[in-house]
Structure 1
Amino acid sequence: MTNTTTSHERPEGVGRRIVVVGGVAGGMSAAARLRRLCEHASITVIERSGHVSYANCGLPYYVGSVIEDREDLVLQTPERLQARFRLDVRVNAEVVSIDRERREVRVRSVETGEASVLPYDTLILSPGAVPIRPSIPGADRMRVLRTVEDAERLASEVTTRPRSAIVVGAGFVGLETAENLAHHGIPVTVVEARSQVLPVLDPELAIAIEETLERHGVRVITGAGVAEVHAWGVTLDDGQEVEGDLVVAAVGVRPDVRLARAAGLELGPHGGILVDETSRTSDPAIYAVGDAVEKVDAISGSLELVTLAHVANRQGRRVADHICGRAVEARPSIGTAIVRIFDTVAASTGLSEQRLRALGRAYQVVRAHPMSHASYYPGAQPMSLKVMFDPSDGRILGAQAVGGEGVDKRIDVLATAIAAGLPVDELANLELAYAPPFSSAKDPVNMVGYIAENIRSGTCDVVEPEEVESLVRDGWTLLDVRTAEEHRHGAIPGSVSVPVDELREHLESLGDGPFVVYCAVGLRGHVATTALLEHGFKARNLNGGHRSWAAWKAAERMALAG
């Protein structure tokens, strides 16, 4: 894509006419920042819905009555924006076309149909994304959740107490919607065409979310899509029939590029608006931000569709800076996201192992299962951490965390480390806040760094859960170094039990090996593995121990069942 300068550009300041299409995250961020930087510009915001600057991510919680007052979702009103920023905000208005030659947009009132023409010197497109409705019979019966109006409609239907509900799609919005419908006592079934819930996670972490849903009474069906929607429920493509008076589609969104396409602006490989490092489109007078725009992924370098509010807000702010003549540095996205489903939190940043494998990218994995804070302080909760890194330079490529308390803190530290370019080993050296109610002297993030040090230095070679069966077939001995009681309560089939504290006394009876060593989470396994190596045995430690292997097996079983 190329941009050229144009003689139509007006100087900064008085008389500059800026039109913003879309009044939610990216658009409103741009408009407010523009006013703070340029007091004398004419700034008009056009929003199709009846609300601007609303908390889109809070909509499921309004449906679940966790947020009781609709007004709590609306961060600003046109009246307040006019009073504070002198913004001309027009709701229930839609830009129906762009005349790039004349630099005009045609605006139509959603309520009356009345049309008008609005000139611009600079145009900012922030149309967002639209919910995807499957192209199947009866799709018009499905509800969606994208706007305040959608939330009001769904909340109204919930008050009629449907006998049951179906949520189609198990991404962030789908699972939040399912949880909030369940809060009303409505039996809920989640249907996901892929083999797991939360596809942004790797299967062995996503399984914890699936188990949480089922523990709270939400039925989960994976590996089957919806073929038809009926008044009584849905028929799946494998022939199953699922009853549900209320059916909600949460299968994803697609960038709203109708205006951009009609105006002849360049689109990217995923169908989003193509922009340069300053968020300018192929027309130098038009910028685009938010969910409709393709963004550079910080890890792969490829263009992706990232539908995150904080990314849209950041883009809007940077566009305003560029329009007002400030230097702007491009910042690729690492896709940091988090969700809480009932009592379980899942978060991710960067690329998953599945995505790295699909890209053919070399990587290694650190798995850890620490407690949220000092185990001796009441209330400590377990979490699972998974970090992928480049084996050549230690660069962190992605991270995932599932647990309860403290997951948000750890994923934010790891996202910051990715943004700062820290190699995974350096996580061991981070000085993080410590007191028993908040962490341990070795924070979970530090633990990831220590494990990575051992892997990268060759101190301890690790085995991934999916490698165990093939290694056993090749003659490796599985050695369980947990206590005898732990072994009795559940062990990897075929493993030999020798507690780590008794290992040295049993070296002669172990056989020649080689050994795949495991404990509960990897720590005792590391101690045993290094001892075996010192005594001349060939040994490798199971990455993440029995807990990671058990999660991987559970995910495998669920995928086969689905």
Structure 2
Amino acid sequence: MQKAPDAPGRRVVIVGGVAGGMSAATRLRRLDEEVEIVVFERGEYVSFANCGLPYYVGGVIREREDLLLQTAEGLAARFRIDVRTSSVVTSIDCSSRTVSVLDETTGRRYSEPFDSLILAVGATSGASLPGEGVPVRTLRTVDDVDAIDALLDITPTGARAVVVGGGFIGLEAVENLFRRGVNVTLVQRGDRPLSPLDPEMAAPVIEALELHEVDLRLNTTVTRICAGRVELSDGDAVEADMVIDARGVRPDAALAMDAGLAIGPTGGIAVDAFQRTSDPFIYAVGDAAEKVDAVDGAASLVTMAGLANRHGRAAADAICGIGRPSRPALGTAVVGLFDLTIAMVGWSEHRLRAAGRPHRVVHTHPASHATYYPGAETMAMKLLIDPASDEILGAQIVGGAGVDKRIDVLATAMAAGLEASALAELELAYAPQYGSAKDPVNLAGYVAGNLVSGTTRSIQWHELEDARTAGALLVDVRSRGEHAAGSIPGAVNLPLDELRARAHELPEGRIIVHCQVGQRGHTAARLLSQLGRDVVNLDGGYATWIAGTRTVRAPQMSAA
């Protein structure tokens, strides 16, 4: 096993004063009162709540000062940390252990020595959007939100904004601009917003955007910005008073690369389990540093504030000789969009297919709490499982209340190495207003256990067409009223309560049964299988099928 350094560095320089950098600085001080700590931050502010920036734009966070968690003066007083804002580290000399610094306030250039160096430089945007004539901002700094807020204050009611990029920040920008009464166009390069979601799980996101009259442009890019408008690759142009550039970011690894530090296959700074770079006296944390993926053990980029804070602390521990290896990254994430909560952990089905990795899928549509207690909300839950080991490979949940709680349980289960079927045995808190006696996590475990034991067999929504082409009969076991309200074309309606008496009416050959969300379909499949029929259940039922087929396209089947 790798070991952390045995002796603390007496002078630690940190480049970057937000999440990872400031976590490292304050942890260092708590561990060692004597160590000298210098933090360089290129911006004017340190230790600000960058994840809260969109919500200040939307007026949810009302006071600007609430975003500023600490000041340079406060950090000096409480932690004896020398914080230098508006200071850019321009180069690293590994042999002399010095950094070159530009003070942007005075223009002075100078050299600063270090015993240990922590790079918490974050991520950087790609190329600028083409053209000019409309103000373009990101949503990454306090200066950004100040500029956006000022634009909204001087723009008359009915302001128009184009948000470029439908990831986490893009969706947060859309919601908060909507709160401010802005007419929003969302331009997304891919075929669905929040591309880590699988198609059927993205359907509620698209519906929420459409419900709130967001002009959603999928499979589209910005070709040019000119006076008062944004031209798009679909040949259209939209008027705009501002553009929010929320496209993906990449690791800001230029400083490390110029210093000769190893860069990993993802483009991030390569680090070991203690956050050390290829130079044992230099560490890297946050969005610029590579992580180890928890599913396949490969190098990965995970740009989450929680990991940045955790790894900043880990680097400080290593410098002080008490470090423990960092755990692999699960990529647990959650985002709100209007009345939806969208959460994920681990790998998506799309990613598993692209990697050619075998997997099993479970879809459920449970309620947030007991349905007899007022206010229960339905969620769509997807669990991805290794068919050989029963290992949990990932999960996605979209819904209202309770989504965040369930994704955290699943992330904990993944970190603990629990098998998917073991989710059924978790003893989770229950009261009618908080959950059900069979929690949604337990229910997913029951379905996983049935698949492991062979008690049931399932087919996915995007496999249905090929199965029917091959001769399978689709039987809808919902009530006649449900079938009349909306059905899969060509399905035979035979309600579950009549199935036992009328099973003889079904022709020979493979049968696919389905209900609304999968539970009655499981009962029907068990009944027919015990009558000797070749039967599979449509996983997630009609609800999953309709969500998938309403989305742009089904995932491509892997040749593997």
Residue 146 of structure 2 corresponds to which residue in structure 1? 152
Correspondence 1:324-403 to 2 at 5 A? 324-403=320-399
Which deviates the most, 464-473 or 125-134? 125-134
1:243 has 2:239 as partner: yes
Q: Distance in 1 between matches of 2:6 and 2:519?
A: 65
CA deviation string 1:65-100 (max 9, x = no partner)? 111111101111111111111111111111111121
CA contact (8 A) 1:336 1:415 kept: yes
Residue 531 of structure 1 corresponds to which residue in structure 2? 527
TM-score normalised by structure 1 residue count: 0.96
CA contact (8 A) 1:171 1:199 kept: yes
CA RMSD of aligned residues (A): 1.8
1:94 has 2:113 as partner: no
CA contact (8 A) 1:291 1:305 kept: yes
CA deviation string 1:26-71 (max 9, x = no partner)? 1100110001111101001111111111111101011111111111
Specify whether residues 496 and 101 from structure 1 end up closer, same or farther in structure 2 by C-alpha distance, changes over 3 A only.
same
Residue aligned with 1:213, SS: helix
CA contact (8 A) 1:223 1:559 kept: no
Correspondence 1:117-516 to 2 at 5 A? 117-134=111-128, 136-138=130-132, 141-161=135-155, 163-516=159-512
Specify whether residues 559 and 170 from structure 1 end up closer, same or farther in structure 2 by C-alpha distance, changes over 3 A only.
farther
1:39 has 2:39 as partner: no
Q: Distance in 2 between matches of 1:405 and 1:523?
A: 22
CA contact (8 A) 1:104 1:120 kept: yes
CA deviation string 1:230-263 (max 9, x = no partner)? 1222111221212212111111111112211221
CA contact (8 A) 1:367 1:384 kept: yes
CA contact (8 A) 2:163 2:243 kept: yes
Q: Distance in 2 between matches of 1:240 and 1:338?
A: 33
Specify whether residues 127 and 379 from structure 1 end up closer, same or farther in structure 2 by C-alpha distance, changes over 3 A only.
same
1:65 has 2:54 as partner: no
Q: Distance in 2 between matches of 1:140 and 1:272?
A: 32
- Percent identity, aligned pairs only, is 51
The offset of 1:11, in angstroms, is: 4.7
Residue aligned with 1:419, SS: helix
Residue 108 of structure 1 corresponds to which residue in structure 2? 102
Specify whether residues 136 and 458 from structure 1 end up closer, same or farther in structure 2 by C-alpha distance, changes over 3 A only.
same
Q: Distance in 2 between matches of 1:556 and 1:146?
A: 30
Q: Distance in 2 between matches of 1:182 and 1:393?
A: 45
The offset of 1:466, in angstroms, is: 0.8
Residue aligned with 1:550, SS: helix
CA contact (8 A) 2:134 2:227 kept: no
CA deviation string 1:419-463 (max 9, x = no partner)? 000000000000000000000000000000000011111111001
CA contact (8 A) 2:199 2:553 kept: no
**Which of the residues 495, 518, 521 maps onto 1:522?**
518
Specify whether residues 513 and 11 from structure 1 end up closer, same or farther in structure 2 by C-alpha distance, changes over 3 A only.
closer
The offset of 1:112, in angstroms, is: 1.8
Is there any run of 5+ residues in structure 2 with no aligned partner, and where? none
CA contact (8 A) 1:192 1:225 kept: yes
The offset of 1:139, in angstroms, is: 9.3
Is there any run of 5+ residues in structure 1 with no aligned partner, and where? none
The offset of 1:509, in angstroms, is: 1.5
**Which amino acid is the alignment partner of residue 372 of structure 2?**
Y
CA deviation string 1:192-246 (max 9, x = no partner)? 0100000011111112111101101211110111111112221112212122121
Residue 56 of structure 1 corresponds to which residue in structure 2? 50
Residue aligned with 1:159, SS: helix
Residue aligned with 1:59, SS: helix
CA contact (8 A) 1:525 1:542 kept: yes
Residue aligned with 2:551, SS: helix
CA contact (8 A) 2:462 2:554 kept: no
Q: Distance in 1 between matches of 2:322 and 2:295?
A: 27
TM-score normalised by structure 2 residue count: 0.96
Q: Distance in 1 between matches of 2:410 and 2:341?
A: 16
